[in-house]
Structure 1
Amino acid sequence: MKHVQPWFVGATLRAIAQHVQKTSQIFTALDVADWDEALKGQPGKARLALQRMANHKLVEPCELPITRTLAKLEPRWKLTAKGLGTCRAILQAQPGAALPDATALSTRLWALLRSRKTLTSEEAASTLIDAGSRDFAKAQYQIGGYLRAWEKLVPDVVKVSARRVEGCKRYVMVKDGGVRPPPTKASAIPPMPAPSAHPAPLVQSVKHEARA
């Protein structure tokens, strides 16, 4: 059985895949957090993900010449050849440049949740599906599955409210997750290869000058 990585690892992989094209390109957790809507304001999650990726030899820390700055140091990273290949595979599987299919149920549901901020599966089905449709019950069941998946896979974006509406779970978007809907199943988050027996050390280095 494959081990499912936490949601922030998938988000970090996706962000790097969309913004880093070569192994010489240097980035920090602050950069990654800026690149992905799900990681906005959470560089700590990106740091955890990068350390996990280092353990799998997908990224490696960068050393810089000694400076006289007294500023707190932010680790800088770059992809390994293995990591670059993994990111290219992610882009081929989930091209970040392409907008989601506007007619897909998951895309329409995500847009509705972004607009209303709170939603139940019944409310969503009543809005998105023709009540007279033969597939109404099936679509409502599918909508409930999407909402449950998002609550589990992106818990910092979608949460379940303690308050229920007529017995139905009430899903809340606590922060904007962007126009692209998250995966609707854990298998859509790329698995990571077997970890190295010797994790890469965490090397401290200075921040980008623009962030100093």
Structure 2
Amino acid sequence: MTSPRIAVVSAGLGEPSSTKLLADRLRDATLAALTAHGQHAEVVDVTLRPLAQDIASHMLTHNPSEALDAAIGEVIDAEAIIAVTPTFNQSYSGLFKSFFDVIEEGQLASIPTALGATGGTARHSMVMDTAMRPMFAYLKAQVVPTGVFAASEDWGTASGLDRRIAREGQELADLMVAMPRRREADPFDAESDSFVSFEQMLGHA
């Protein structure tokens, strides 16, 4: 049995990036909570900054590059998603939105998902409820109750950021355990019980 995979999507624009830092912290909290459940997960990092041109090109041509196609595949095939964006004008970044716009309708349905956002001040914290949750509700993802917004002043202070990160990681791990994503067997997979080889069919003739 293979370990479940968590796709960590971060849309930070800088290097280094507080958005990527928050995504990594949410990843670590989720893995720790899964360990407490006696489970392990693999992690796939999907950093959108290097894919910016590919995403823009795909929106114009509807022809994804190999790199973008691989990134989309990692997200839609994951057992859980952690998605983190920087905040601009109390909304997600254009890069973040554009990436999820090129994912086909229904491909994120029922996937346990944790959301995070970063911004200069706490004034942008409503982005979680006014922009991110509605988008992922439309995409039919299973979003955990807690969302973590990290303002610049939250880092390295007693702001409660660590507590919120731990709570969201716990919620995502609990949801992964309670609602594991189940996949239908591929009828063309030779290892599937339902697969009948050409040689077997000849033998039954």
TM over 0.5: no
Q: Choose between structure 1 and 2: higher strand proportion.
A: 2
Which structure has more relative contact order (CA 8 Å, sep 6+)? It is 1
TM-score, with structure 2 as normaliser: 0.25
TM-score, with structure 1 as normaliser: 0.24
